[in-house]
Amino acid sequence: MTTAPAIELKGISKAFGPVQANKDINIRVMPGTIHGIIGENGAGKSTLMSILYGFYKADAGEIFIAGQKTTIPDSQAAITAGIGLVFQHFKLVENFTVLENVVLGAEDGAMLRPSLRKARRELSALADEYELNIDPDAKIEDIGVGMQQRVEILKALYRRADILILDEPTGVLTPAEADQLFRILGRLKDEGKTIILITHKLREIMDITDTVSVMRRGEMTATVKTAETSPAELAELMVGRKVLLRVEKAPAVIGAKILEVRDLNVTDDKGVHRLKGVSFDVHAGEILGIAGVAGNGQSELMEVLGGYEKATGQVSLNGEPIDLTGAKSDGQSRRARGIAHVPEDRQSEGLIMDYAAWENTAFGYHRDARYKSGLLMNNAAILSDTEEKMNRFDVRPPNPRLPAKSFSGGNQQKIVLAREIERNPDLLLIGQPTRGVDIGAIEFIHQQIVALRDQGKAILLVSVELEEILSLSDRIAVMFDGQIMGERLPSETTEGELGLLMAGVTKGAA
């Protein structure tokens, strides 16, 4: 007897106005397997999963769950059908406990206490069965991101999910936490659960999936057995051309000291010490990579250097001190001094999503003489300049009048990069340069960063992607709990050693 697929989508199509997000998609996911889905930004992966989870209604097509045609008008129907979705950005209430978050939305009645008692028993059983051990009374705000992800998985399992969809699940995890997640997914698979893994990390696809489907421009281009393919082949299927999977760069030619940071300290408005005596240098012609799990002071470091956060300590650029009190220095004056900044969150910090691309390319530089016509802005000059930038940085579509929200994540990132890199800065601050960016755009962005370094510029790179840090950096500093745990040369360290430092474990302590 032939086993029915856990999920089968037939002829799924979805358009948003003139944009065809999904076009006649067919996919079969067999039960008890880990099925990867990869594709460029804007390929339609998230739209397809949103249809499966009831966030969107398909314009055409059918959904079958365990061989039965199923209508999924909303997320509650998806949960009833046994589908659980673990979001890339966790949907947890931070001041609630683990137990309260698991029960939230799945209460048995108006009286909460019986629901909590029942949930506590079931949570204990689930945690034991799937090695998802976690304190049910811990508050979300007091546990790490790896544990928060376990809570999201437990939420889905508590709702009787047989099919788990995970969207970019390792983006905020240390290597050790990612390995633990993969062990958990393997256990879930062994217990008969079906897992759909959406990721842009080809190594993860090769390590953990049984089957992988590739999407490009809204269509399904291939479904292959993972054991019968390779990262290079998958990359080519994703972007339609051969992709260089490694960063090619010549040895660094180190120049003068550009940035000097000494004893930098930041305390937030709640009295929490976010940066604790941070000191380092960055020279011309080098990339200093800052590795670490998100939330360990990297964001505050970039905000201080970019002029958006006050601090104590000493910072100098080209030997001249920078004011850290906010009285004489801000983002505008930093740019005038030769500091360009690509922020970690392009949508909330790098762009105004409802504004056009041409307006976004002028932000922070709108006082430039070439953008002025007397006392007014020269919109025609900005438009022309944006068109040239979009062509040089391969922004698609190359239409400067489109709002930023109309571009995929990778193309939004290119808009920000074009604005900052083309200013010929002495120092480039760049945070999470390829977060949520597809492999074709990653290759291009890495090339631009290396080219700027080869022009003799100093680059401070913050990334949670260890592979990116190792391949791009000339030196690596690791941050944990607001401190620099140590510096390493890429050629003289490993992901394992960096992972320990990211967890606050020095070699002596290990």
Instruction: Give ∠ CA 135-139-144 in degrees, rounded to 5.
Output: 80
What does the pLDDT read at residue 510?
Answer: 44
| Burial track 173-190 (b if 16+ CB lie within 10 A, e otherwise) | bbbbbbebbbebbeebbe
Residues 290 and 233 in one domain: no
Query: In terms of domains, do 183 and 328 share one?
Result: no
pLDDT at 112 (0 to 100): 61
Q: Of 211, 239, 267, at which residue does a domain stop? A: 239
Measured in whole angstroms, the distance separating CA 148 from the mean position of its chain's CA atoms is: 16
Predicted confidence at residue 86, as pLDDT, reads 84
Interatomic CA distance for residues 249 and 252, integer angstroms: 8
Specify if 276 maps to a domain: yes
pLDDT given at position 81: 92
**CA 504, 470, 34, 131: dihedral to nearest 10 degrees?**
-10
- Confirm whether 228 is domain-assigned: yes
Based on the domain organization, do 227 and 179 belong to the same domain?
yes
| Region at 264 (left for phi over 0; alpha for psi -120 to 50; beta for the rest) | beta
Distance between CA atoms of residues 367 and 369, nearest Å: 6
Which two three-digit tokens encode residue 115?
């629901």
- Domain holding 53, by residue range, is 7-239
Asked if residues 34 and 185 have their Cβ atoms less than 8 Å apart, the reply is yes
Judge if 215 and 289 occupy the same domain: no
Q: In total, how many domains does the chain have?
A: 2
Give me the CATH number covering residue 96.
Answer: 3.40.50.300
Residue that terminates a domain, selected from 189, 213, 239:
239
Residues 436 and 304 in one domain: yes
Exposed/middle/buried for 486, CB within 10 Å: 0-12, 13-18, 19+? middle
SS3 165: strand
**Helix axes of 379-392 and 409-421: crossing angle, nearest 10 degrees:** 110
Q: Which residues is 34 bridged to in the sheet? A: 195
Same domain, 178 and 286: no
pLDDT recorded at residue 394: 86
Residue 391 in any domain: the answer is no
177 domain-assigned: yes
pLDDT value of position 509: 47
Are 220 and 295 found together in one domain?
no
Domain assignment present for 484: yes
Starting at the edge strand found earlier in the chain, the sheet holding 427-431 runs: 339-342, 427-431, 458-463, 287-291, 475-480, 483-488
Domain-terminating residue out of 178, 209, 239: 239
Per-residue pLDDT of the chain (510 residues; tens, 9 = 90+): 578 999 999 999 999 888 788 999 999 999 999 999 998 766 888 889 899 999 899 999 999 999 999 999 998 899 999 998 887 667 788 888 888 888 887 666 555 677 778 878 888 888 888 777 888 888 888 887 778 888 888 888 888 889 999 887 876 676 777 888 888 899 999 989 999 998 877 888 999 999 999 998 889 999 999 999 998 899 888 877 776 667 889 999 999 999 999 999 999 888 889 999 999 999 999 999 999 987 899 999 999 999 989 999 999 999 999 999 987 767 788 998 999 999 988 888 899 999 999 999 998 888 887 888 777 888 999 999 999 999 998 888 889 999 998 887 778 999 999 999 988 999 999 998 987 677 777 888 899 999 999 999 999 999 988 889 999 999 999 999 999 999 999 999 998 899 889 888 876 544
295 in a domain, yes or no?
yes
Q: Do residues 139 and 265 both lie within one domain?
A: no
399 occurs within a structural domain: no
- Please tell me whether residues 330 and 216 are part of one structural domain: no
Q: Is residue 2 part of a domain?
A: no
Question: What's the N-to-C CA distance of the chain in angstroms?
Answer: 53
Answer yes or no: do 24 and 86 share one domain.
yes
Q: What's the angle, vertex CA 352, arms to CA 322 and CA 374, rounded to 5?
A: 70
pTM reported for the whole predicted model: 0.71
Nearest to 462 by CA among 337, 323, 295, 324: 295
Q: How far apart are CA 486 and CA 490, in angstroms?
A: 13
Buried b (16+ CB within 10 A) or exposed e, 302-338: bbbbbbbbebebebebeeeebebeeeebeeeebbebb
Here the tokens at position 207 are 């390590």
112 and 35 together in one domain: yes
Q: What tokens does 22 get?
A: 């999904």
Question: Do residues 225 and 266 both lie within one domain?
Answer: no
